[in-house]
Structure 1
């Protein structure tokens, strides 16, 4: 078996760990306590299946004994027997599978030899072997000659980032935003002390914060960038600018005596203390999130200590006039990439990144404002801007609206606006490169000038496109982080609602809970009737229930999505729900017994109590007609922001259950739980709705007691029966 030396290095590193050695010794002792161990007993001892043990025997990983017995001149092979040595090996394998997350194929057959060298009883005399005999077992001569290598470096870095470092940086950021209202332009942070401290002394004077000693810090910067780092003692340059408070107030600390995260501190600028959120649910949530960080406190030095870079999650404040360091760095790098002229001057003079100042306006009405500039540029970040009305010849405006590079290799005198002459000097060529725009949605412009003519070749344009791509990724990241930050506090009050568009509708979970409550009431009534020997046909408090499921026809959904996009379809789904809600009082005489639920997409469901099947079908037909036709969608708050969609149609499914049928479902003799019956009712309704989809839509499928199946509902058939 050829063994990957990376796995061998992982094995050695894992088995050196004292906790791993204790676990292996424990399992070895369990195995040695057995006098005789068959394959069945070995599998139970270590939690393996017998088939696994047989497969590993074929691989040569383990070697059990196969005793033979003479029975009437025939040799019969007995059950596999596992010696102490093989049991020891199984204990080591158990550790490597569970804790080191290795596969059996990554474990060498001589794993017991590696273990013996690493876990020798004479620990004091064999510790030096880690660099001598032990390494010879698993490291090739080439690997031994190298202190580090790319594969090892990448593997360790990715593992650390994907695990602890990634979680720590993200959860500290979200935890801070849950308890602090992010105010652009100000600092705030969480301090996680490694050890207990004298709270009274620390909180009286911010300069005493360093007395908490080693701490993990999550720090929110002025531009909303977030920094995660480990410090031996947190200190401020100007302590009087800050206020330090315990995250967990005294009354909550008393109720959470076992939470190690109670020692966490929150730091804000002195004038921003009113922005700390004091809700207990927020604090409890944060403490839960921080617990794993404290539990891994012994690993802080490994993940964040000396030689490890701080974890930085950059972000941008899009509203004030604060300079963004990363965008500024990109503009300076752009000038550098332009190279130099023979006389040593920069070929490119100024570089700016312009972003729209109001994304809610239509594309043609958006002004662009400078958000970052190169070192020598005289533009003012957050002030210098170009507007479609005043600067119609602006390259930036034209590039932004056209999603094309706009390049002027030679500028005529009339091409240079007064604004350019004052700020950009005697430029002879300039270029504007859209940031994004491939999907029809530009998000900004990269603008570069030069004192030379023909300063931007085709190769230069490729370079500028790459810089624009890097900027695009960064801006999308900033935007997503801002969206997450803005909506994070909402989950404290309503964790079940993810999409605020549908927050006013009851959900599928609400539907299932309400249906379970109805069925539980019936089940209890049935059980009481049986105890009192009352005939089951005597109905209880629930007379009958019926359901109407509504869905937008498939061809309508496809047409709208293809013509207007998924967001318009999303808005239509909500508009349908609002129309159904508004129609209930007019269509249903006792509409208070009707509950509307949003299931998903454009599917809604009505739960009706006390409606006959005929009334339910009649109401479903009235609802279908009322939903048919055009519908107006409010796309934005701007004038003309309403879109009218014609030819909307829906299909519906109708089911109905009288009390005696529900009582039969829930009768003890059938041994069906409320959950089982609820699932049956729900899936039946889903089936009726799907029949309408398969038929092409604009139809109602309803339960027919006569045929005991679902059939298309014909309007007026009730009158014909009468």
Structure 2
């Protein structure tokens, strides 16, 4: 006991020191900025080994969370997760081991409580600030020099503000306007949310009176379909006579919807577009539900969207680690808020989770869904809780995701209640799963909501959830696009001209024009010095002619594949055709080293041949056409069975041929034509020959005929020189 007392006195003396408190606070900040920390990350943050952390857990010094895998509470196999409180404790332990030279056994389990009593106010724990939005907002705008004026806090504040208002408000105002206004390109329209009650009624459509409503939150749709959200002290117009102002609610509906929100909200449209306002009851009711949180948080309008400089935040998400996302979490919390409260003050809806597929490369029916965000009180674990189609065939989220329909259970049967993990979701009586996206393609995820009440999700509620799902859909598309952009950044450093990696192994149109330009430059220089017009090649030595074969998939084939399988499959077919041409060159061309293949664009390829007569070029083109006919295997994905065999493939080809003395004549000084001009003529002539194949239905070769001095169809039955 005496030893313990001495250790406590020693700890107290050390932690009272200002320098020690500053170091502990710094480590606490590092931990807090990680938001969610696994045992591996915690060990790296504070310089401990994972075995040390496990030993201290056994001693009771720290108490990390052990997430449950799946729905069986006994399967506690998830990686340890360290909360803010535990990270604080690790920061204090780090200080006492390094600076006070204590052993872990000498540190009491309640060291965090001792710290809170000894730390100066400036280094006090910030847990309450992070949980209490009101206190957080009041301190986030402090003058430089405060504890919130550092980069990490600035980031946290910007992210919270982005979710709390700027993101949600702008999307809700935009979608609400589109629900009640038939979007007409080239015209203006907007919603006006006055901060105070006003006397404008149904008959007062004069926009000059709009300024009487005073301070208002405005959502405005511009002529280019850009949407603007701003706070104005007095809403006015440069040309008031161009507009009409109407209350959002028609008089008969306002009689049945008592409340200031229904009375206050206004819609503004251009005078000639009043007929495009749709104020049906179901639309108006949905909009009012969506706008209700905006009015409730009216006291925050100036803080979040007032005048002055604002931080900019571009939201993005890492889909792989088990990290929470502020915007998705905020949307989940907003769902619970939009569900309203019961008479006893409890939330009508209990939990909300946003589930996203774990592996997008799998077919839709094989994808598991993982919880990526949850509402504040939900007990699922982000990045851990998942549902798999092979194990949870009756799960609502799986069915909604695969079926692209809302799946709703207004009253759970006994077997449904037994199937869910009560210790996670509690005694729920109804639940609903809403697909995120899916209107014009595959869904991106699922919005899953539970309630302790039966029949908790009315048709109006389902409209609200669909709107939130659309907002989430936009966010997820933004995340994915940002991820795609960032993933390809290293490639542009090495190969800035290659955009599509699918064709990175092919020479490009730029390469073709460059190589053709080199040939023409050499011919021009030799002509100017009266040299023999020859250019050495790989195997035949000097040659005196060049020819070109352009290849393209027939238009009817491309249209059929795009309609049946989609543009991506057609894109993959274009690459497969190029690979087949490349592989056929040694078999079809005896001196194939004098042939070079280029991918021009789309499904068009070009062969540049040196030392081939016109007859040999046409003969080889015919052999190539036949070799490309029929079926071809197209690689769709890296998964087993990810190859699709496409039948009835056919191509058309264009052939041009030039002796070097003819090219020298083109480049002669008296013709006043540059290398660039001649190169362009050769290139467009080849393009013209290829287009003739398209115009005549495809599966044909058009080549230059020296006799007729025009491009004619090649007759395969003619004797061909090889």
- State the TM-score bracket (shorter-chain normalisation): 0.5 to 0.7
SS in 2 for 1:342: coil
Q: CA deviation at 1:420?
A: 3.3
Structure-2 change in CA distance of 1:239 and 1:439 (3 Å): closer
CA distance in 1, matches of 2:590, 2:689: 25
Superposition pairs of residues 585-624 of structure 1, within 5 angstroms: 585-624=586-625
Q: 1:236 to 1:341 in 2, by over 3 A?
A: closer
In 1, distance between residues paired with 2:380 and 2:664? 78
Instruction: Provide the residue aligned with 1:509 in structure 2.
Output: 510
Measure the CA separation in 1 of the matches of 2:335 and 2:370: 19
Unaligned runs of 5+ in 2: 1-39, 46-140, 153-305, 537-541
Deviation per CA, 1:393-452, whole angstroms, max 9, x where unpaired?
Answer: 111111011000000111111112444322111111110000011123111000001111
Match of 1:179 in 2: none
CA distance in structure 2 between the partners assigned to 1:607 and 1:614 by the alignment: 15
Distance in 2 (CA, whole Å) between partners of 1:653 and 1:489 is 38
Match of 1:486 in 2: 487
Maintained 8 Å contact 2:533/2:544: no
Counterpart in the other structure of 2:18: none
What residue is the counterpart of 2:635 in the other structure?
Answer: 634
Cα distance in 1 for partners of 2:477, 2:404 equals: 17
1:708-719 aligned at under 5 Å gives the runs 708-718=709-719
Residues in 2 aligned to 1:427 and 1:324: alpha-carbon distance in whole angstroms: 26
Consecutive unaligned residues in structure 1, runs of 5 or more: 1-182, 188-228, 241-304
Which structure 2 residues correspond to residues 108-123 of structure 1 after superposition, within 5 A? Answer: none
SS in 2 for 1:381: coil
Task: Provide, for residues 518-557 of structure 1, a one-character-per-residue CA deviation record: whole Å limited to 9, x for no partner.
Answer: 000000000000xxxx7x8899955000000000000000
1:666·1:673 contact (CA, 8 Å) conserved in 2?
yes
The structure-2 alpha-carbon separation of the partners of 1:484 and 1:559, relative to structure 1 and needing over 3 Å to count, comes to same
Q: Distance in 2 between matches of 1:441 and 1:511?
A: 39
Q: Report the CA distance shift for 1:585/1:335 in structure 2 as closer, same or farther (over 3 A).
A: same
Q: Give the direction of change, closer, same or farther, for the CA distance of 1:372–1:631 in structure 2 (3 Å limit).
A: same
Pair 1:700 & 2:686 matched: no
Mark the CA change 1:387 to 1:657 in structure 2 (over 3 Å): closer, same or farther: same
Displacement after TM superposition at 1:716 (Å)? 3.2
Deviation at 1:237, TM superposition (A): 9.4
Counterpart of 2:366 in structure 1 is 365
Structure 2 equivalent of residue 392 of structure 1 = 393
Q: Report Cα offsets for 1:4-23 as digits up to 9, x if no partner.
A: xxxxxxxxxxxxxxxxxxxx
C-alpha displacement of 1:489 = 1.1
Match runs of 1:320-335 below 5 Å: 320-335=321-336
Tell me the secondary structure at the aligned position of residue 567 of structure 1: helix
Deviations 1:98-126 (CA, angstroms, capped at 9, x unpaired): xxxxxxxxxxxxxxxxxxxxxxxxxxxxx
Stretch deviating more after TM superposition (604-613 or 537-546): 537-546
- Alpha-carbon distance in structure 2 between the residues aligned to 1:716 and 1:667: 39
> Is 1:346 equivalent to 2:347 in the alignment?
yes
Residue in 1 that maps onto 2:463 = 462
Q: 2:614 and 2:438 mapped to 1: Cα distance? A: 55
Q: For each residue in 1:302-344, what CA deviation from the matched residue of structure 2 results, as whole angstroms up to 9, or x when unmatched?
A: xxx9931111011111111111111111111100000111222
Q: TM-score under structure 1 normalisation?
A: 0.57
- Do the aligned residues in 1 keep the contact of 2:548 with 2:607 (CA within 8 Å)? yes
- In 2, distance between residues paired with 1:569 and 1:397? 30
Q: Residues 523 and 533 of structure 2 are in contact (CA less than 8 Å); yes or no, is this contact kept in structure 1?
A: no
Distance in structure 1 (CA, Å) of the matches to 2:146 and 2:597: 54
**Distance 1:235-1:652 versus aligned 2 partners, 3 A rule:** farther
Is this contact kept in 1: 2:634–2:645, CA < 8 A?
Answer: yes
Question: Which whole-Å CA distance do the structure 2 matches of 1:310 and 1:238 have between them?
Answer: 13
**1:374 match:** 375
Contact 2:534/2:543 (<8 A) preserved: no
How many Å separate the matches in 2 of 1:357 and 1:674? 55
Task: Give 1:413's aligned residue.
Answer: 414
Counterpart CA distance in 2 for 1:417 and 1:388 is 19
Q: Distance in 1 between matches of 2:41 and 2:317?
A: 9
Alpha-carbon separation, structure 2, partners of 1:476 and 1:679: 41
Work out the number of aligned pairs and report it.
429
SS at match of 2:390: coil
Distance 2:554 2:664 in 1: 35
**Aligned 1:4-403 pairs, distance under 5 A:** 307-403=308-404
Distance between the aligned counterparts of 2:344 and 2:148, measured in 1? 47
Structure 2 match to 1:444:
445
Between the aligned partners of 1:323 and 1:309, the Cα distance in structure 2 is 24
Cα distance, 1:664–1:560 mapped onto 2, change above 3 Å: same
SS in 1 for 2:547: strand
Distance (whole Å) between structure 2 residues aligned to residue 566 and residue 306 of structure 1: 46
Q: After superposition, give the CA deviation of every residue in 1:452-472 in whole Å (9 maximum; x if it has no partner).
A: 111101000000000000111
CA distance in 2, matches of 1:565, 1:636: 14
Q: 1:563 is matched with which residue?
A: 564
User: What TM-score does the superposition give when structure 2 sets the normalisation length?
Assistant: 0.57
What residue number does 2:667 align with?
666
Q: Tell me how large the CA RMSD over aligned residues is.
A: 2.8
Deviations 1:664-689 (A, max 9, x none): 11111111100010011011000000
1:250-297 CA distance string (max 9 Å, x none) = xxxxxxxxxxxxxxxxxxxxxxxxxxxxxxxxxxxxxxxxxxxxxxxx
**2:526, 2:533 within 8 Å by CA — same for their partners in 1?**
no
For residue 389 of structure 1, report the CA deviation from its aligned partner.
Answer: 1.7
Secondary structure in structure 2 of the residue aligned to 1:595: strand
Match of 2:472 in 1: 471
Displacement of 1:637: 1.9
Cα drift, residue 718 of structure 1: 3.0
**Distance in 2 between residues matched to 1:394 and 1:312, nearest whole Å:** 36
Identify if the C-alpha distance between structure 1 residues 232 and 708 changes in structure 2 by more than 3 Å, giving closer, same or farther: farther
Whether the 8 Å CA contact 2:693–2:699 is kept in 1: the answer is yes
Aligned residue for 1:687? 688
Contact 2:534 2:544 in 1 (8 A): no
* Counterparts in 2 of 1:578 and 1:235: CA distance versus 1, 3 Å: farther
Structure 1 residues 652 and 428: CA distance shift in structure 2, 3 A = same
Alignment-derived partner of residue 551 in structure 1: 552
Q: Distance in 1 between matches of 2:342 and 2:420?
A: 26
Q: Does the aligned pair in 2 maintain the 1:702–1:712 contact within 8 Å?
A: yes
Aligned residue for 2:501? Answer: 500
Which deviates more, 409-418 or 653-662?
409-418
- C-alpha separation in 2, matches of 1:395 and 1:656: 65
Given the superposition, is the C-alpha separation of residues 323 and 527 from structure 1 closer, same or farther in structure 2, using an over 3 Å criterion? same
SS at match of 1:548: strand
Whole-Å separation in 1 of the counterparts to 2:709 and 2:441: 53
Equivalent pair of 2:654/2:690 in contact (CA under 8 Å): yes
> Mean alpha-carbon deviation: is it higher for 701-710 or for 339-348?
339-348
- Secondary structure class of the residue paired with 2:515: helix
1:591–1:417 CA distance, 2 compared to 1 (3 A): farther
Partner of 1:265: none
DSSP 3-state at the match of 2:516? helix
Question: Aligned pair in 2 of structure 1 residues 617, 384: CA closer, same or farther (>3 Å)?
Answer: same
Change (3 A) 1:334 1:238: closer
- Specify the SS of the correspondent of 2:432: strand
Contact 1:184 1:317 in 2 (8 A): no
Measure the CA separation in 2 of the matches of 1:405 and 1:677.
63
- For residues 329 and 538 of structure 1, do their structure 2 counterparts lie closer, same or farther at Cα, with a shift above 3 Å needed? closer
Q: Deviations over 1:581-604 (max 9, x none)?
A: 000011101101101000000000
Contact 1:522 1:542 in 2 (8 A): no
Distance in 2 (CA, whole Å) between partners of 1:447 and 1:710 is 64
Cα distance between partner residues in 2 of 1:718 and 1:232: 88
Does residue 430 of structure 2 align to residue 429 of structure 1?
yes
